[in-house]
Amino acid sequence: MSAPTRCVFLVRGIVQGVGFRPFVYRTAVALDLAGSVRNEPEGVAIEAEGPRAQIDLLQRALWTSAPPMARVESVDASWLPPAGIRGFAITASRGSTSTTLVPADVATCPSCLAEMCDSGDRRYGYPFINCTDCGPRYTLIRGMPYDRAMTTMATFSQCPSCLAEYTDPMSRRFHAEPNACPACGPGLSLLDGFGALVEAPDPLAEAVRRLRSGAILAVKGLGGFHLVCNARDATAVDRMRRLKQRDGKPFAVMSPDVDAIRAFACVAMDEADLLATPARPIVLLRKADLFDLAEGIAPNNAFIGAMLPYAPLHHRILSDGAFTALVMTSANPHDEPIASGNDEAVRRLSGIADGFLVHDRDIVTRCDDSVAAVLAGRTRMIRRSRGYVPLPISMPVDGPPILAVGADLKNAFCVTRGGLAFMGPHVGDLANAATAVWFEEAAMHLCGLLNVRPAAVAHDMHPDYMSTRLATLLRDLLCPDAPLVPVQHHHAHVLSCLAEHRRTGPVIGLALDGTGYGTDGTIWGGEILMVDGANFGRHATLRPLPLPGGDMATLEPWRLAVSILHQADADNLVAAFSPRWPVDSPRIDAVLGLCRNGRDLPRSSGLGRLFDAVSALCGLCPLASFDGQAAMAVEHAAIEVPGQPDPYPWEVDRAPTGLSILDPRPMVLALAADLLTGTPPSVVCARFQATVVCAYASMAIDVAVATGLSTIALSGGAFQNRHLLAGISRRLLAAGLDVLSQSLVPANDGGIALGQAVAALCRQ
C-alpha cells in the first residue's frame, strides 16, 4: 500500500443543499480516508488523508457519483504532506452565505418512491416523503441559509425516528430539510366545493373516488394548486374549460409513466428522457394518430403537453391504475396568478372546483410547471419555472447585481450576482393587479434569498409597459439610488440567446417575434440586428403592416388579413375571403375603410402579425383567444405537408438609410390566388413558412457578407415554431455560418430578462 498523503479539494458548482457533504462523507468513509468536508462560500471544501490511490478514487467519485441534483463545475486539488488526521467528519460551514445557491424543487427520487410503495416501510403511502436527493426546495424556502428553520417545515418538529435520520451522516436524509413522516409531518385533508372539511378516513382515496366519478378537484402540489380531472372524461374536461374561461389554451396532462403517455402522444427517446428529468417539465409532444383523450384538452392543436408525476402525492393519485391520464392545469381563474394558499384557493376557486385536496405545508413562492420541447434536436425551454428556478445560468459578463424585469407577456424576471443569472419563476402576463403584486413579491423574495441589492434595474424600452412601471417601483423600494436601464426588446432577445453561449457579440441577431417597442417608437418584430454588447444596429426588417383597430388586431387576425390584402393592392379580394371569417360584412367594410384612409394606423413589423394575417386568410384562426394562437394554427396546419415545399416569391427593398425591408406583397398575392383556386390551407401554410425561412435566411446571409460577421444568434418567440427554427438554422449552416439558438431559457419573452441583464452589465 502506498504511503499516506493529504489533499485539499475545492468543489465548485451546485454543491450545496443537494446532499453533497453526506455523499462525500459516505464515500470517504467507504474508502477508509481520514479528513473532513464543509461548505465554504466558494463551494464545498474537502480535506482527505490516506493512500494516494484511495484519494484518487475519491476525486474520481466527485465527478462520477455526485448526488443527482449536484452539478460539479470544477474540482481544484492541492497536495500536502500528511498531518496524521484520524476519522472523517462533516464540519461547520465557514464564511458567509452570500455565494451559496438556492436549490430548485426536485421530483421524488427512485429510493423514496420504493419506500413509499413498501408496505413494511414506516413511510408506506406517505404523500410527503422526500430526502436530500428530492423534494420541495425553492417553493418552501423563506430565507437563507437553507436550513429547516428558514422553510415552511419549521412548524413541524421531527419525531425521534426522523431526527435520527436527519442527524446521521450515513442516512439519505442527513440534513434533508423537509424531512417528514406520517407521525410528524404534513397531512392531507379533503374539502368540499365550499371549503368545508369532508369527513373521510382516507382523504386521498376519497379524492380519487370523486375524480373517478367526474369531479374537478383543486389539488395542492409543490408550487401551487392544479385543477385536476380525468383526461378521458369529456364532460369533466368541457366543464373545466367552461369554468376556467380558457377558450383555446391547451391543458396539460399527467400520466403515471411514459408508456401511458404513448397511448395518446408520440414520444421519441430524447422526449422520454426530458419527461423523466428530475425537473419534470411539461413536454410538448405530437398527438398520436389515435388520440383518445377528451378532445377539449387541446382543441385544434397538433400537440399535447404531458408530464410525469413529480410529487409523491401525484404518484399516489395515479398509483391505483384508476387513471392513465389526468388533466393537471394551473389553478388560476382567467389570467390571474396560480393559487397557492389553502384559504386563497377556496376563495378563488369555489365555483370552479368541486373539492379541494389540500395539505398543511405552506408554499412560500408560487411556481408553475415548466414547459419544454425537443425542437431541432435539442431541449428548448418554453416556460422555465418549477424544477429549474432559481438554478443559475452562467453569463459572459460579471459585475454588480442587476434586476431585470422582463417584458409584459410571459413575464419572468432575472436577478444577477457576479457572473451568474438567476431567472425568477414564470409570472405570466402582467395584465392585472394580482399578477403585478405577485411579481413584486417574487422579485423582492429572490433578491433577498440571493442577498443582493441591485445596482441597476433593467427594463423594456416600451413606455406603456406595466413592467416598465414595476421597474420604477422596485427600484424605489430596493435601491433608490440605482439607475433604470431601458433595453430595446429585440436587442435583449439576441443578448439572451448570446448569454447562454457565454458571448456578447459582435454577432448578427435574428429576432423574430410578435411585438416589441422599437427605438423609432413603432412596433418591431421581424428584425435582423448587429449586436455587440450594449450596442446594436438595425440591418433588416419586415415591411410594417398597418394594424386596423390597434391592439384589437392581435385577437382579431381577420383585421390583419384585410390590412395585408389592402397593402398588396388587392382590396378586390377582400369580399372573396370574407366568408372565411365569422364577422358581418359592415364590420369588414369598416376595417377596409380604416386601411384605405389609414395614414395614422399603428404599424408593426412583427413577424407574428404576418402569421396572423395568413392564418386568417386560410380561415384557420380569424378570431383568436390568446396571443400566438393564430400563428400556432399555421404551424400545425403545415405539419401535415411532407417534404420541402416551394417558397412563394418575395422582394427585398433597400431604404435610403441602408435598412433592408422584406416586402411580402408578392407572396401575399400568390398565396391568395392559391387559396381562391382551392389549394388546401395546409399546403399554403407550408409554402408560407418556407418563404419566411428562405427570405430571412437569405437576408441574414447578406448581412453576414456585408458586415463580415459569421455568427448568427436566433431569438424571439417565432423560433418556437419547429419549421422556422430547423429551416433557418439549416440554411445558415449550409452557408457556412455559425448558428446560436436558445435552449436554457425560452426564446420567447420569458427569456428576455436575461438579455436585459446582460445589456445592463455591458453598459456598466
Distances (CA, A) of 515 to 111, 592, 606, 731: 47, 23, 6, 25
Interface with Zn ion, residue 131, by CB under 5 A: yes
291 vs 626, beta carbon nearer Fe ion: 626
Interface with Fe ion, residue 749, by CB under 5 A: yes
Binding partner selected for residue 131 from Fe ion, Zn ion, none, CB under the kind-specific 5 to 8 Å limit: Zn ion
Which residue shows C-alpha cell 392585472? 432
User: Pairing state of beta strands 414-417 and 355-359?
Assistant: unpaired
66 vs 447, beta carbon nearer Zn ion: 66
- Of residues 434 through 473, those in contact with Fe ion by CB under 5 A are none
365 vs 411, beta carbon nearer Fe ion: 411
Whether the CA torsion 442, 446, 451, 456 is positive or negative: it is: negative
The Cα angle at residue 368 between residues 366 and 373, in degrees rounded to 5: 155
The answer to whether 135 and 113 are in contact (CB under 8 A) is: no
Q: Which stretch binds Zn ion (CB under 5 A): 21-29, 177-185, 188-196, 612-620?
A: 177-185
Binding partner selected for residue 749 from Zn ion, Fe ion, none, CB under the kind-specific 5 to 8 Å limit: Fe ion
- Of residues 361 through 390, those in contact with Zn ion by CB under 5 A are none
378 contact partners, CB below 8 Å, separation of at least 6: 741, 743
- The residue whose Cβ lies closest to Fe ion is 513
Least Å distance, CB 474 to Fe ion, is 21
Q: Which stretch binds Fe ion (CB under 5 A): 30-38, 182-190, 332-340, 515-523?
A: 515-523
435 contact partners, CB below 8 Å, separation of at least 6: 335, 336, 337, 411, 427, 428, 429
Binding partner selected for residue 133 from Zn ion, Fe ion, none, CB under the kind-specific 5 to 8 Å limit: Zn ion
Interface with Zn ion, residue 183, by CB under 5 A: yes
Distances (CA, A) of 682 to 13, 215, 541, 554, 627: 48, 38, 26, 22, 21
Interface with Zn ion, residue 588, by CB under 5 A: no
Q: Which stretch binds Zn ion (CB under 5 A): 17-25, 96-104, 158-166, 626-634?
A: 158-166
The answer to whether 500 and 742 are in contact (CB under 8 A) is: yes
C-alpha count within 13 angstroms, C-beta hemisphere, residue 202: 11
Least Å distance, CB 588 to Fe ion, is 30
Whether the CA torsion 189, 142, 425, 67 is positive or negative: it is: negative
Q: Which stretch binds Fe ion (CB under 5 A): 84-92, 422-430, 510-518, 656-664?
A: 510-518
User: Pairing state of beta strands 738-740 and 188-192?
Assistant: unpaired
- Tell me which of 7, 15, 33, 181 binds Zn ion, using CB under 5 A: 181
Q: Rounded distance, CA 549 to CA 606, Å?
A: 16
Interface with Zn ion, residue 162, by CB under 5 A: yes
Q: Rounded distance, CA 513 to CA 460, Å?
A: 15
Preceding amide of 506 cis, omega within 30 = yes
Least Å distance, CB 606 to Fe ion, is 9
Binding partner selected for residue 109 from Zn ion, Fe ion, none, CB under the kind-specific 5 to 8 Å limit: Zn ion
Least Å distance, CB 183 to Zn ion, is 5
Least Å distance, CB 410 to Fe ion, is 9
Distances (CA, A) of 3 to 28, 34, 51, 84: 17, 14, 6, 12
Interface with Zn ion, residue 109, by CB under 5 A: yes
The answer to whether 46 and 35 are in contact (CB under 8 A) is: yes
Of 259, 240, 258, residue with least CA distance to 249: 240
Least Å distance, CB 352 to Zn ion, is 33
Q: Which stretch binds Fe ion (CB under 5 A): 56-64, 364-372, 652-660, 744-752?
A: 744-752
Q: Rounded distance, CA 136 to CA 127, Å?
A: 12
Interface with Zn ion, residue 134, by CB under 5 A: yes
- Tell me which of 354, 513, 527, 612 binds Fe ion, using CB under 5 A: 513
Least Å distance, CB 721 to Zn ion, is 38
Q: Fill in the per-residue mask, 192 to 231: x = in contact with Fe ion (CB under 5 A), - = not in contact.
A: ----------------------------------------
Distances (CA, A) of 218 to 226, 344, 426: 5, 12, 20
Binding partner selected for residue 513 from Fe ion, Zn ion, none, CB under the kind-specific 5 to 8 Å limit: Fe ion
Residues that bind Fe ion (CB under 5 A): 513, 516, 749
Residues that bind Zn ion (CB under 5 A): 109, 112, 131, 133-134, 159, 162, 181, 183-184
